Structure 1
Amino acid sequence: MSAPVWITAFVLHRRPYRETSYLVDFFTLESGRVSAVAKGVKNSKGDRKSLLQPFGLVRIQLRGKTELKNLSQIEAADRMTVLTGTALFCGMYLNELINRILPQGLASELMFDQYQRTLQALQHTDTPDVPLREFEFGLLEELGQLPDWLTDARSGEAVTAEHWYRFMPENGIVLARQAGEKGSFPGYALQQMVALDWTPAARKAAKLISRHALFPLLGDKPLKSRELFR
């Protein structure tokens, strides 16, 4: 009989399941997004329940051959990440984004590490939109949905600082019909964004792009975390 396998994971979300249990969504290093039933912990005062908090880095053992696993063991892998205020809403948004977009069972060491760095950045930044945009773009790249930011998808010409552009999910970056039209941004903002020079113009362009790029993946269903933030 093989020895139980320990998996490194972040807790994304938990919700009541039947009378005494929780259904828990994990983001794991080894197996990507995984859902598991934590039996008998809902009314418990033990460590198992306290460890099932969002943003907690834990080590877990799972059982079961179906997509929905059973949580058999859990222990802390690091100190709990504590987010408050705006950072908390941003963290909830990250977790919901992973749950909604990342296919179940798709392992990505790159995104796992970036998620951990983003949580840490949210604890210490006055511009939380910056680590959020970097995570969103990393997720889009992992899913093969990231366009070439510095090339006009229609003409094939390089983006120039003085022209204005739009982002179209089915195409990519395209020349705007006129400078300053709604939903457009200047070429220099794109250039700054790619260079990670997060000027106000670059941040505004990144927000517009991320909203349009994520919409086909998220669909019409509103994000609960975005509603809470409002």
Structure 2
Amino acid sequence: MATTKTLSKYQPAPLVRAYLLHSRPYRESSLLLDLLTEQHGRIAAVVRIGGKAGTAKRAQLQPFRPLLVGLSGHSTLRTLAQLEAPTMPLPLSGTALYSGLYVNELCQRLLPEWQTDEALFEQYQQCLMGLAAEINVEANLRYLELALLQHLGQLPPLVYDADSEPLQPSCHYRWRTGQGFIATAQPSVDAVSGAMLLAWRDQQLADIEHLRQGKRLVRELLKPLLGSKPLHSRTLFLRQRGTDEHTSGR
């Protein structure tokens, strides 16, 4: 019995699915990682990158790559004890790459640590796969943002308006912080259609106008959460787009 207990004490930690959101140098020969994990939500972990084994780990730690990680320690800052990368990174390029960087930055900045949400993890993974396949890029971003806002408790259920009336596809609504969606008699620049809200909820966004309304609404919803600090990924995208337009002569 004593032998069994001694062996079990040193059993490796179970591997959990994860994605790398961000990494930066930490002390000597280490990296500080922001990981989105299936079982623990967003967590911080340290990994040593010195020596041959560390170099191999560093090569595997790439954004948009499905990972299996084993964590050790008892504080909120864990140690990455095991790492497997069963597949190559998802191939993101061009607009899809900047969209992936945007998604990672949103998760890193807004998600509290150690809040499990397996549905959000699955939505994140589905979003990356859609970006890699260049299928419904804008719609996939809106679905990820929806899951993130719901996780943060910053969006009421897309069922009723502020007066507890069912959302109507033919109606238009304005968002008011602290109140919800308020029905308006006529369409306006800052209003969205009930049809868009219901399609967003059901992950059925396809109409170009709905996608435009959804993007405008999400920016309004995220503004108080992000504060005055701009998104680095958005700045990079706008800078690159400006360079491309200048190069092409347009």
> What is the TM-score normalised by the length of structure 1?
0.87
Q: How does 1:73-222 map to 2 (within 5 A)?
A: 73-125=82-134, 127-153=136-162, 155-176=163-184, 179-195=186-202, 196-222=204-230
Q: What runs of 5+ residues in structure 2 fail to find an aligned partner?
A: 1-8, 239-250
In 1, distance between residues paired with 2:11 and 2:114? 21
In 2, distance between residues paired with 1:49 and 1:41? 9
State yes or no: 1:48 paired with 2:22.
no
Deviations 1:184-215 (A, max 9, x none): 22334334444514201211221122122222
SS in 1 for 2:42: strand
Answer with 187-196 or 69-78: which moved more.
Answer: 187-196
In 1, distance between residues paired with 2:183 and 2:47? 51
Contact 1:23 1:35 in 2 (8 A): yes
Aligned-pair CA distance for 1:44: 8.1
Aligned-pair CA distance for 1:127: 3.8
In 2, distance between residues paired with 1:163 and 1:179? 8
In 1, distance between residues paired with 2:123 and 2:113? 18
Q: Which amino acid aligns with 2:38?
A: L
Q: Per the alignment, do residues 228 and 156 of structure 1 end up closer, same or farther by CA in structure 2, a change over 3 Å counting?
A: same
Q: Per the alignment, do residues 199 and 41 of structure 1 end up closer, same or farther by CA in structure 2, a change over 3 Å counting?
A: farther
Question: Which of these residues, 62, 75, 93, is aligned with residue 71 of structure 2?
Answer: 62
SS in 1 for 2:156: coil
Aligned-pair CA distance for 1:17: 1.8
Runs of 4+ in 1 over 6 A off after TM superposition: 42-45
Aligned-pair CA distance for 1:162: 4.5
Structure having the higher helix fraction is 2
Aligned-pair CA distance for 1:130: 0.7
Q: Per the alignment, do residues 25 and 183 of structure 1 end up closer, same or farther by CA in structure 2, a change over 3 Å counting?
A: same
- In structure 1, the residue matched to 2:34 is 25
Q: Which amino acid aligns with 2:106?
A: L
Aligned-pair CA distance for 1:68: 1.5
- In structure 2, the residue matched to 1:227 is 235
Answer with 54-63 or 85-94: which moved more.
Answer: 54-63
Answer with 216-225 or 189-198: which moved more.
Answer: 189-198
SS in 1 for 2:233: helix
In 2, distance between residues paired with 1:126 and 1:63? 38
Contact 2:23 2:31 in 1 (8 A): yes
Percent identity, please. 35
> What is the TM-score normalised by the length of structure 2?
0.81
RMSD: 2.4
Bigger Cα Rg:
2
In 2, distance between residues paired with 1:184 and 1:43? 57
Answer with 114-123 or 126-135: which moved more.
Answer: 126-135
In 2, distance between residues paired with 1:31 and 1:192? 30
Q: What runs of 5+ residues in structure 1 fail to find an aligned partner?
A: none
In 2, distance between residues paired with 1:74 and 1:65? 18
